[in-house]
Homo-oligomer: A and B are copies of this chain.
Amino acid sequence: MATIVTEMSMSLDGYVADPSDGVDELFGWYGNGPVEIQTVSDMPPFRVFEPSARHIRETMDALGAVITGRRLYDITHGWEGRHPYDAPVWLVTHEAPDDPPPGLTVITDGIERAVSEASAAAGDGIVSVAGGLTAQSCLDAGLLDEIWIDLVPVLLGEGIPFFPGPSTAPVHLKDPYRTIQGTGVTHLYYRLP
């Protein structure tokens, strides 16, 4: 059975982007190290320290499907139908886009359907839910299995919160079942009960 996961780089004070939606302060760990990791996209390779390389490689190996919302879709054009970690993409949206890339599946009748289809495609692997609002609707629907936080040692003071108010708050997670200390980031793996 697939594991439904959302992962986010987050500042120590709980923000996933600065007030202008900038992520430079939070994504530094993807480019601060000596280990090169090439994705299937044409973006430059990640350059990370070994602990983070392990985290990324394992994620890439296990990833079976990606679910995204409309906002991230519009920014990335759905990664042209194939996520950089080499997985097919499901888009959850109210209205289908005009020119979805081949390989991308458009879902207009809710997150449950997207999770169901993506899970079937992922087998025993991981379904990654990308984008805060999509992750939150997944959380609210009780469909999320794990939350992975890439905790970055910076205080932003203000910005965009990870979960801007889950409908089911407070949401109790279990203690992290794994912690990887990287350089400029602490990878924390949490399971939902």
A186 at the interface (CB under 8 A from B): yes
**Copies of this chain, count:** 2
How far apart sit A186 and B151, CA to CA, in the bound complex (Å)? 12
Known contacts: A175-B183, A176-B181, A183-B175. The answer to whether A190 contacts B153 by CB under 8 A is: yes
A12 contacts which chain B residues (CB < 8 A)? Answer: 14, 147, 149, 173, 190
How far apart sit A18 and B149, CA to CA, in the bound complex (Å)? 21
Classify the secondary structure of A's interface with B.
Answer: loop
Tell me the A133-154 residues at the B interface (CB within 8 Å): 147, 149, 153-154
A169-181 to B contact mask, C-beta < 8 Å, 1/0: 1111111100101
Known contacts: A13-B14, A15-B14. The answer to whether A157 contacts B153 by CB under 8 A is: no
